[in-house]
Amino acid sequence: MSTSDASEQVVEEEAIVKLYSPAGLARLGLALLAACGLPVQSREAPPKNHAPARTSTTPPPDVPSRAPLVPSPASPAAPDTAAPVRIVAGASATLSGGSAAIAPSPVAAHQGSLVIIGGGLRGDNADVWQRVVKLAGGKGSRIAVFPSASGNPERSAQTIIGYLRKWGADAFLVPVAVRLTGSDYKKNADDAALAKKIRESDGIYFAGGDQGRITKALLRDDGTQTAVLEAVWDVYRRGGVIAGSSAGAAIMSSTMFSNPKAVLAMLQTGIADGRELGPGLGFIGDDVFVDQHLLVRGRFARMIPAMLAKGYQIGLGIDEDSAMVVNAQREVEVIGYKGALLIDLSRAEWDKESPHFGVRNAVISYLDRGDKFNIATHMFLPSNDKAGGRIDPTRTLGRGPVFSNDVLGNSAVIDLMERLIDSNQEEAIGIASGNPRASGSEVGFEFRFTKTPDSVGYVSSLAEAYSVLNIRLDIRPIEITRPLYKYK
């Protein structure tokens, strides 16, 4: 076969992959129905397994303003969906070539990398385990394992050490944990020999559990850093990797949840600094808030009031069995099973004096695995399988209202966002409420997701997987009458 024939065959095979993906087949069917003049039915949701913000006393609008989705004859042509395009969350200025940017965030003066894992990391998740070892230097690299957060430190540490050794690392236990049997964690945290051993390692791994135990073990009573924590920072500054899962991810920002209420209760009664919120270790910098177990547990909704209370404009939340890899240039890459939510509150407004939480003009984006986002420049780059898959807003797939009666449910928020971005609808509604069989009335919340001129979606050529950027989010309290239903 000649070189030209082989090249043509590769192109044909790639085209076939794109055409016969679930999204490609759906689009083909939609086009055939439209060509025949037949009605197009509603799209059903795919099955799932899975500066400080401004204050305002003005309630969120019933219908946020938005430019029409279908352009008039005088409107610009639809974007070239085959061309890779860089997009930014919360864009306020457009650059040449269709890219967008906002004022950059300060760059942290660190040379190392972070692997922020959302919890529930499976032993067979090679993407994440291999990346931790690779960033530490590969085979033979020394990784210090901190089981500080765990309720059973010995077991937790040995499990993690086993997986790290499986992928070639020389991992060892750091005996600084509140619940480690037969060990004085305060004494060990300031042990010079142990600190030297950690300082000479290539990477750090924080186990999951209770993040409050990590700060209790590594910070002195007066809030200063122990010798062991100073050694951890030295590893990071020298170019090493710091990885952490669940509680080990929560400590990555300078503020973390410490003893939080349930997500709905937090919206109903508010967040108190010093009770639900406490100081983290701040490896990612002071300008980004981090949360974990995000999509499975609907925790995006608790991130927003916490960020507003502490003045954060950018928040990153990672789901279970997935990770965000942050390099020295502050570029975030999503790897593993699922994805991450990016929350931008740079233009958000809220009434902090209101007895119930509400916010308007927040911006939310879903970063799927393989996607990249730069914290410093606020630029987004889709994964390779989505590079030519930017959704044309004039030729969307879905029809009919987009709604969820449990927006805090497992992955419900990204289901809504995916259905909205590939729909002819301008907004989606999600409701958060408590027990439907309770009596009387209760305060619930409406989550209104709205497309704006900045909203962009990408769909994979290989699977029905989306990246969704710059969706406006307004949250307002509502009264819900109970019981929600009665038997006939």
Instruction: For residues 233 and 358, state if they share a domain.
Output: yes
Instruction: For residues 19 and 145, state if they share a domain.
Output: no
Cis peptide before 393 (omega within 30 of 0): no
Instruction: For residues 9 and 156, state if they share a domain.
Output: no
Instruction: For residues 36 and 160, state if they share a domain.
Output: no
Say which CATH number the domain at 273 has.
3.40.50.880
CA distances from 341 to 323, 334, 469 (A): 12, 10, 10
Residue where a domain stops, chosen among 385, 411, 443: 385
354 domain-assigned: yes
CA distances from 203 to 139, 265, 290, 469 (A): 12, 38, 20, 33
Instruction: For residues 17 and 149, state if they share a domain.
Output: no
Among 297, 300, 306, 307, smallest CA distance to 272 is for: 306
Instruction: For residues 125 and 32, state if they share a domain.
Output: no
- pLDDT recorded at residue 109: 54
Instruction: For residues 26 and 137, state if they share a domain.
Output: no
Q: Are the C-beta atoms of residues 455 and 353 closer than 8 Å to each other? A: no
91 domain-assigned: no
- pLDDT recorded at residue 79: 52
Instruction: For residues 177 and 263, state if they share a domain.
Output: yes
253 domain-assigned: yes
pLDDT tens for 351-372 read 888 888 999 999 999 999 999 9
- The domain in which residue 8 lies consists of 1-40
pLDDT greater than 80 at residue 141: yes
pLDDT tens for 52-103 read 444 443 444 443 333 332 333 333 444 554 444 344 444 433 332 333 333 3
190 domain-assigned: yes
Instruction: For residues 135 and 224, state if they share a domain.
Output: yes
Residue where a domain stops, chosen among 366, 385, 404: 385
447 domain-assigned: no
341 domain-assigned: yes
Residues making up the chain, counted from first to last: 488
Least confident of 45-49, 92-96, 318-322, 327-331: 92-96
Instruction: For residues 175 and 260, state if they share a domain.
Output: yes
pLDDT band, residue 298 (cuts 50/70/90)? very high
pLDDT band, residue 16 (cuts 50/70/90)? very low
52 domain-assigned: no
Q: What's the rounded mean pLDDT across residues 369-383? A: 94
Instruction: For residues 32 and 117, state if they share a domain.
Output: no
13 domain-assigned: yes
- pLDDT recorded at residue 398: 86
pTM: 0.80
